[in-house]
């Protein structure tokens, strides 16, 4: 590794001219074996001696090669999510659509789901994906994981809305809660399901990674309110309907996500309307301070209670796309159901066992060749409670001194052909001459199978 002055900055990308731009058959075999190895047992990616010093065009070629290997390593026939489904029209028999649920295993849980493909014209790729969370919730007295009829009924309602009310183009993935006795879409097995479905849809269903949307109604709206900020870099938009949550679910994380709430003017049970309004008032403040971010909309539907018009929000949301490498990221890092995200856009924590409520703000200035970071711990503790009514915590910001972060860089973010100055917490920590690296491309795609978010150079920094 190249260490630059001062000692806080490490460049993971070495400056060595590649023997060839594209990976050779032998190198591809080595990469294939590395990908096939369990993540916990993989050797250091640098042991594969893959080329670096790539040009932008060469890095794109290598990304395409590695992406093919990633898809081969996850064959569609071995996944319970299966191949691209037929369109709704193709699936009809005698004008009638018979919808059957499949099952996604999630450790000790099994999640029933339905996948619907609405398509007016056949597309090879670029499809939007809508993840639709139903209402209902938790019934601790249910006799079994899928025995509560309310959750089954609410799943059926989402199916009907997906067929006739939501936007007419796209793939709709409609899960049923994996265990009625637990409920709650923010539980960790649901986080896992969402990641798995998005990854699979990108690899095998021709889904555009930058057109993935999360929506939900009532209990599903709470899930959307909570999960969209938590895993914001996976979505182009979120739409919570008939729901509202507290500011402890950080609105700040929604800088680069289009976020919408539709709620009835008379929907006051559990303070749904009040919480939704307060949440968007906070987004108003954030947008005023940062006009290039925080696209959002709230529609308090007059004369409505808990039942509202469900067509408006998804239509608004679907008009937006994700920028995979935004110039600015704001990440309030905290656990949800005792798990954290390691990556948020182009910033990654290297310590999976970190604690506390943390915030990282990253700003890339392409023209100036500079990246500025603010990395702070807002509180040494977090509240391990039900997040729906979680209020914003009192904070006392301190530098995250000694914390190791990795910047996942791409030519979409900065010019990798020029030196980049790094500043952390207002302190210049040195400069790095980046190098596009096949090893970094492989590691990035193995961690997250999304070619639009593939990092071609990784830079490790230590917060002073």
pLDDT digits (tens, 9 = 90+) for 388-400: 999 998 889 999 9
DSSP state of 58: H
Strand pairing category for 258-264 and 2-4: unpaired
User: Is the pLDDT confidence value at 9 over 60?
Assistant: no
Predicted pLDDT of residue 19: 42
Rg, the chain, Cα only: 23
DSSP state of 161: H
Predicted pLDDT of residue 125: 74
Query: What number is the average pLDDT over the span 409-414?
Result: 98
**Mind listing the pLDDT tens digit for each residue in 78-95?**
999 999 999 999 999 888
Q: How far apart are CA 164 and CA 311, in angstroms?
A: 9
Predicted pLDDT of residue 5: 31
Q: Which residue, 452, 461, 455, 418, is CA-closest to 439?
A: 455
User: Is the pLDDT confidence value at 452 over 50?
Assistant: yes
**Mind listing the pLDDT tens digit for each residue in 430-448?**
999 999 999 999 999 999 9
Count of Cβ atoms closer than 10 Å to residue 292 Cβ: 11
User: Is the pLDDT confidence value at 15 over 90?
Assistant: no
User: Is the pLDDT confidence value at 190 over 50?
Assistant: yes
Q: How far apart are CA 375 and CA 371, in angstroms?
A: 13
**Is cis: bond before 6, omega within 30 of 0?**
yes
Predicted pLDDT of residue 2: 30
Contact 14, 463 (CB under 8 A): no
Query: What number is the average pLDDT over the span 177-184?
Result: 97
**Mind listing the pLDDT tens digit for each residue in 109-120?**
999 999 999 998
Domain positions in the chain = 2-74+325-462, 77-317
Q: What string of DSSP letters covers 305-374? A: SS----SHHHHHHTT----SS-SEEEEEE--BTTB--SEETTEEES-TT--SEEEEEEEEETTTTEEEEE
pTM above the 0.75 mark? yes
pLDDT band at residue 21, thresholds of 50, 70 and 90? low
Q: How far apart are CA 214 and CA 13, in angstroms?
A: 35
Predicted pLDDT of residue 201: 98
In words, the CATH class of domain 77-317 is alpha beta
Predicted pLDDT of residue 10: 45
């Amino acid at each position: 590794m190249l260490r630059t002055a001062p000692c806080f900055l490490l460049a993971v990308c070495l400056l060595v001219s590649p023997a060839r731009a594209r990976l050779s058959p032998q190198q591809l075999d080595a990469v294939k074996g590395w990908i096939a190895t369990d993540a916990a047992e993989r050797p250091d990616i640098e042991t594969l001696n893959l080329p670096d010093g790539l040009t932008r065009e060469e890095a794109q070629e290598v990304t395409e090669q590695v992406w093919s290997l990633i898809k081969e390593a996850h064959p569609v026939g071995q996944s319970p999510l299966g191949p691209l489904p037929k369109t709704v029209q193709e699936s009809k028999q005698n004008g009638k659509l018979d919808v059957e649920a499949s099952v996604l295993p999630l450790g000790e849980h099994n999640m029933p789901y339905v996948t619907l493909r609405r398509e007016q014209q056949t597309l090879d790729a670029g499809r939007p994906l809508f993840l639709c969370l139903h209402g209902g919730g938790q019934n601790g007295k249910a006799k079994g994981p899928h025995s509560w009829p309310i959750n089954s009924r609410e799943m059926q309602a989402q199916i009907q809305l997906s067929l006739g009310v939501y936007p007419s183009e796209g793939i709709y993935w409609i899960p049923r809660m994996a265990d009625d006795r637990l409920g709650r879409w923010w539980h960790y097995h649901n986080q896992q399901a969402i990641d798995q479905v998005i990854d699979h849809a990108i690899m095998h269903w021709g889904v555009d990674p930058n057109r993935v949307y999360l929506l939900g109604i009532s209990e599903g709206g709470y899930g959307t309110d909570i999960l969209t900020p938590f895993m914001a870099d996976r979505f182009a938009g979120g739409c919570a309907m008939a729901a509202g949550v507290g500011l402890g679910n950080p609105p700040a994380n929604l800088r680069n996500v289009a976020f919408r709430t539709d709620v009835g003017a008379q929907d006051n049970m559990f303070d749904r309307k009040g919480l939704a309004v307060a949440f968007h008032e906070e987004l108003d403040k954030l947008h005023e301070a940062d006009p290039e971010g925080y696209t959002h909309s709230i529609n308090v539907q007059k004369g409505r209670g808990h039942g509202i018009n469900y067509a408006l929000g998804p239509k608004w949301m679907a008009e937006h796309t994700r920028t995979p490498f935004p110039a600015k990221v704001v990440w309030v890092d905290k656990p949800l159901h005792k798990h954290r995200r390691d990556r948020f856009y182009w910033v990654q924590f290297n310590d999976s066992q970190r604690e506390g409520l943390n915030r990282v703000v990253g700003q890339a200035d392409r023209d100036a060749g500079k990246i500025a970071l603010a990395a702070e711990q807002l509180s040494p503790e977090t509240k391990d409670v039900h997040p729906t009514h979680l209020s914003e915590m009192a904070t006392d910001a301190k530098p995250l001194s000694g914390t190791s972060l990795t910047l996942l860089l791409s030519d979409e973010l900065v010019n990798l052909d020029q030196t980049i100055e790094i500043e952390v917490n207002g302190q210049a920590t040195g400069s790095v001459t980046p190098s596009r690296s096949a090893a970094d491309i492989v590691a990035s795609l193995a961690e997250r199978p999304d070619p639009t978010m593939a990092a071609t150079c990784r830079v490790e920094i230590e917060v002073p």
